[in-house]
Amino acid sequence: MGRYRGPIVKIARRLGVNVAETEKVQKFLDRRPYPPGQHGQKRARRPSDYAVRLREKQKLRYIYDVSERQFRNLFEEASNKKGVTGTVFLQLLESRLDNVVFRLGIASTRRQARQFVRHGHILVNGKRVNLPGYRLLQGDEVAVSEKAQKLVFVKDNVERFKNRKSFSWLEFSPDAMKGRFLRTPEREALSLPVNEQLVIEFYSR
C-alpha cells in the first residue's frame, strides 16, 4: 500500500486523533468528534483485539505520513537494534528528514515537508537532499536553500511558527532558516497519541 493522498481530515476523524498535528485539523475534530459517513454518530461495537492493534498502527503510520512498506521496514530495523523496540522505532521515524523539516516549522505539514524535500529546497550539511526518508544523525544541519528562502509560503511558514512550541532535540534559527538535529528524542519527550506497544504486538502476531 502506498502513501495516502486523500483528505487527511477524513482519516483524522476515522481514527479519532489529529494525525496531521495542525490547528486546522484539530478544529474539524472539535466540531465533529465522530467518524465520517452517515453512520458515524452511531454507537460502535466493541472492536476486536486485532482491530485495536491495527488502529494504533494506522495512527502512527498516518502521523508520520509513510507508506506501509517504509513503515514495516523501519519496524524491522528497530527490532534488530539494541534498546526498547517501541522507542527505537519512534526515534527512527522522528529522525526522517521530512519529519524534521515539519518539526522545525519550515513546512506547515509533513506532506508539505515531503514536497519541499522532493523539490530540492532542503540542504543537509550544505548539500541538497531530495529523499524525504533520509536519516538524520546527531549534529546534522538542516537548512532551506537560498532560492527557496525567497518563496512566500516558506517565509510565511517560518514566520507563523516562529513562536510555537520548540523541541529539545532540535534547534532552529528563523532568520537564517537553518536548524540542527541535536539528538534523537527520548520517549518521554514525544507527546504522541499512540501506544507503540500495540504496534509491536500487531507486527509480532
Is the pLDDT score of 16 beyond 90? no
Q: How many CA atoms lie within 13 A of 15 on its CB side?
A: 24
Who's near 162: CB < 8 A, 6+ residues apart? 105, 174
Cα dihedral sign, 106-2-29-95 = negative
What pLDDT band is residue 39 in, cutting at 50, 70 and 90? very low
Average pLDDT (29-49) is: 70
Work out the mean pLDDT of the chain and round it to a whole number.
90
Is the pLDDT score of 43 beyond 70? no
| pLDDT in the model for residue 26 | 73
Q: Is 163 helix (H, G, I), strand (E, B) or coil?
A: coil
Is the pLDDT score of 123 beyond 70? yes
- DSSP class of residue 181 equals E
* Separation between Cα atoms, residue 87 and residue 18, nearest integer Å: 21
pLDDT digits (tens, 9 = 90+) for 152-193: 999 999 998 887 778 999 999 999 999 999 999 999 999 899
Query: Is this model's pTM higher than 0.85 or not?
Result: yes
